[in-house]
Structure 1
Amino acid sequence: MTEPRYPRPIGEVPDQTRRLADRAVFTHAYALIPRGVMRDIVTSQLPHWRDSRAWILARPLSGFAETFSQLMVEIQPGGGSDRPEPDPQGEGAYFVMHGQVAIELPDRTEHLEPGGFAWMAPGERYRISNPGETPACVQWIRKAYEPVPDIDVPASYALDAHRVEPVAMDNADGLWRTTRLIDPEDMGHDMHINIVTFEPGGRIPFAETHVMEHGLYVLEGSGVYYLNGEWVEVEAGDFMWLRAFCPQACYASGQGPFRYLLYKDVNRHPALRLS
């Protein structure tokens, strides 16, 4: 199978002739971080990660994300971490965009290529590395796991997203499909990661307004998103954060599929107090 061409940050700083304005938007209800502003000078080193750097796209912050953090991590050949997750309650989801990634668990090693996905349970002991000869790039979504009495924490696992059968959404004539990378019926999981695909002409036909917070990374194509009363154009390589209850809808605007990686928090009682 031909390796997918998922978008990565551009990296290098533009020259002095480039215009300053871009499509970046930050509001109380949503944020758009376009691929064009993910440059070298906004990367961060991570403790206990070697030969790696990260674009931090979302993190818990007053007036911003509340339930999760999302990073784009570039790992050089031979790089990685023996202690990737610093929070003992942190669960993590990795989606490989480019290159090769090995995740070493106590009983096995998972080898992932573009489209590979892995969910790491809270407290899991694992190592992550790039065994290839070119840089690897992954989306890393982290969340503080919310345990529930008498419900088991799921075991860590890995899969190939290309082998997961997409679910056709109702009343969409196959134009709107969802590839579910975490089992939505497993109450042990408190987050879902999906790949959402719209064929040309496909759309979300109503303004969703719900409690789930979202992180969206556009994998392919282009679309137009309705966000809290505004229309925003997005394309491959862009990231969006959507606050809980932000009205949202979209449609595919290009000649090919419009696809994005989607995070949302699910399956838990709403807290009755602000922490």
Structure 2
Amino acid sequence: MKRPLKIGLMDSGIGGLSVLKEILKYNVDLEIVYYGDLKNSPYGEKPASTVLELTRNVCHFLLKEGVEAILLACNTATSAAAETLRKEFEIPIFGMEPAIKPAILQNVGKKIALLATPVTQKEEKLQRLKKELNAEESILGVSCPGLAALVDEGNFEAAERYLLPILKDLKDQNVENVVLGCTHYVFLKPIILKNYPNAILYDGNLGTVKHLLNSLGLKTLSADQTVSRKSVYRLILNTNNNSQYDLAEQLLRLESKI
């Protein structure tokens, strides 16, 4: 019997679990090792060189676990490290990309808000993408330092207080199209829509997962919640706080209606 393909997912914390949830919707046979580097989170406010080193260390750890491909399920790690690590590792290294392209193509001439970490906002990868799409004037960058950490803590009340002035400002500017440029923020969709019902939210999880599975030669039969899930996962969280394992499992079980 053919063994399942073993892949690694990494993130600075638990944001990448939103990507893992997307993978688990598909009827594919994977063994997934998820590593959340919570002791070193958040990555989004560290120098890019530090993020590169931290990401490299996690990838080496996952390689020792026997993974055959790695997904950097973290926009910050992708921005700061993906290009370099693809040259250093022999196995495929995949990364995240903010869903700017679909947001731009579906809303020609309209402003698009990009909520992301400071590192993602200023890294060259994002600047190249905006230039390719001729979107320098269309993208309204909104840096959100500290927001990912609130998600890692499971402090969604504080996250809502954090978002309120940002959402008010977007409403005042009539900016309805919002790209979530951090995998942590995907867990904040209900809060965003509660306070800004007209917002149209975009994230890169679906496109990333489809690209990952197609590139690995895995036929994606369905993304329907009712399909049998063959994939199995193991969580490794770099933390002394066991309650974060409970939070991680809770978020994985939470069925989003959005």
TM-score by length of 1: 0.28
* Higher normalized contact order (CA 8 Å, seq sep 6+, divided by chain length): 2
TM-score by length of 2: 0.30
Which structure dedicates a bigger proportion of its chain to helix? 2
